[in-house]
Amino acid sequence: MEGFDEIIHQSARLQIMAALNALDDDSQMEFSALRELLGLTDGNLATHLRKLEEAGYVAVEKTFVGRRPRTYLSLTPQGRQAFANHVRALREIIGSA
Amino acid sequence: MDAPSPQEAKEALALIEETTRRMRRAVAHGGAPYFLIIWGVVWLLGFGGAHFIGPNNAHTGWLWAILDTLGVLASFGVGWRLGRRVRSRNGGGALLGAFWLAWVFYAALIIAFARPQSGDQLSLLISLFAMMGYVTTGLLYRSTFITTLGMVVTLFILAGYLLFLPYFNLWMAFLGGGSLIVAGVYVLQTWR
């Protein structure tokens, strides 16, 4: 199935991609805010983010606010395209049934 | 991995839709309920105080000055906290803050030159300017809820001033401030 993406399709990663895709192109979400929104643990979210980052779908930016480290996340253009293709593939599966 | 069945695809799309909806609410409306509650409490105490102290009493002016200062500080606190969670490279949150500061500045200038004849007229103008800000913000952010809320409270303001002037401040405390608080609590309860 063209556009169907095994990396994205896993449930937690699908939610991460959907959440970050809902942001504007120039916006980033803080790690803990995404964790709270999706109800994932630190370790679980970090593991899935690593996989998405390795695929080139998620950009991770580590920075400091005052003395506190913060991690900001966003979709890369490649990630947005892959997510759009994946959604289209899912719709085609439903349409062809 | 094989392609999912139509049922699995449907469930995946439903999950995407639900997550997208939650995210948009958290980002676009994440701060709205807190701002509504903060300013609802300011109106409730300010207008309530004005009714009991007297709208033309000097103490009423001080009460409003203190409450407005607390409201602005609380709003900046909420805005700063929200800005840490989602940040925009083009400074979207800061832009909204600047929009409201400019709004307050020009409203204050216009009201100062308009020289309202009474405390009630001053309350009317400030309330209308505030709701103009709500409606404009709602339109800018494509939030039907905020736009509608601004219009409904505007109707309350006009009805209170034109039909119940002796009780205008009390009316504004409960129907103006109360509406903002109820709307804020409603959003907190339902948009999560």
Residue the block writes with tokens 């303001």: B157
Q: What does each C-alpha distance from B26 to A44, A89, B29, B130 come to in angstroms? A: 21, 28, 6, 24
The DSSP H or E segment spanning A91 is helix A77-96
Interatomic CA distance for residues A2 and B178, integer angstroms: 54
B19:A9 CB<8 A: no
- Is B26 touching A (CB cutoff 8 A)? yes
Cα–Cα distance between B171 and B161 in angstroms, integer?
9
On chain B, the residues whose CB falls within 8 A of the CB of A32 are: 85
What is the C-alpha to C-alpha distance for residues B92 and B83, in angstroms, rounded to an integer? 9
CB atoms inside a 10 Å sphere around CB A64: 8
Domain covering A6-96, topology: Arc Repressor Mutant, subunit A (1.10.10)
Query: Any CB–CB contact under 8 A between A28 and chain B?
Result: yes
Question: For residues A65 and A27, is the Cβ–Cβ distance under 8 A?
Answer: no
pLDDT for residue B23: 86
Extents of the domains making up chain B: 36-190
Averaged pLDDT in 10-residue chunks for chain B of 192 residues: 86 95 73 88 94 84 91 87 74 74 89 88 90 89 86 95 93 92 84 58
Tokens of A88: 């289209």
B4 Cβ under 8 Å from any chain A Cβ:
yes
Distance CA A70, CA B85 (A): 10
Q: What are the start-end ranges of the H helices in B86-176? A: 92-114, 119-140, 144-163, 168-171
Cα separation, B168 vs A9, whole angstroms: 58
Q: What is the pTM of this model?
A: 0.69
Dig out the tokens for A46 from the structure.
């970090």
Give tens-digit pLDDT for A11-55.
999 999 999 999 878 888 999 999 999 999 999 999 999 999 999
What ranges do the domains of chain A cover? 6-96
Q: Which residues of B touch A35 (CB under 8 A)?
A: none
Confidence of residue A78 (pLDDT cuts 50, 70, 90): very high
> Tokens at residue A61, please?
């930016």
Tell me the residues of chain B between 57 and 86 that have a Cβ less than 8 Å away from chain A.
84-86
Please give the DSSP secondary-structure letter assigned to residue B82.
Answer: H
Residue B144 structure tokens? 């039907």
